[in-house]
Amino acid sequence: MQVVAKSKYIRMSSRKLRLVADSIRHLPPQEALVVLEAMNKRAAEPLADTLKQALGNAVNNFKLNKENLVIKEIQIGEGPVFKRWRAAARGRAHQILKRTSHITVILEEGHGTKS
């Protein structure tokens, strides 16, 4: 059974989020949370929140055991881009792109960790 959690419109570029997501992609969810809490990146916070949301969905909605869950997939997609303008020299304007991202975490029941 697959458990899905999504966070949308995160005000951070998907490139920064993917850098952190790649470091936890093949870890068990409990270990991934420990790594994210210790990581010194701003992108770790929304990823940890989404992973906690997926774990909560699995336990509360589907009555699954936390120890038997594995991360099947973490997707970081691009969201809409806010376009802003900044004044530049000689009466010109330069464009600023404020990027957003969507995070999708998919957990499934698997082998779990070795006990």
Number of domain units in the chain: 1
| Token pair listed for 34 | 């420990």
* Residue 9 located in a structural domain: yes
Residue 110: predicted pLDDT: 84
Model confidence, pTM = 0.90
Q: How far is CA 76 from the centre of its chain?
A: 7
Residue 114: predicted pLDDT: 52
Query: What's the pLDDT tens digit per position in 73-100?
Result: 999 999 999 999 999 999 999 999 999 9
| Contact status, residue 9 vs residue 113, Cβ threshold 8 Å | no
Q: 65-86: b or e for each residue (b if 16 or more CB lie within 10 Å)? A: eeeebebeebebeebeeeeeee
Residue 115: predicted pLDDT: 45
C-beta neighbour count of 110 within 10 angstroms: 12
* Residue 114 located in a structural domain: no
Domain that holds residue 100: 2-109
| Contact status, residue 51 vs residue 72, Cβ threshold 8 Å | no
| Contact status, residue 11 vs residue 63, Cβ threshold 8 Å | no
CATH number, domain at 36? 3.90.470.10
| Contact status, residue 49 vs residue 92, Cβ threshold 8 Å | no
* Residue 53 located in a structural domain: yes
Q: What is the mean pLDDT of each run of 10 residues along the chain (115 residues)?
A: 96 97 95 97 98 96 94 97 98 98 96 55
* Residue 115 located in a structural domain: no
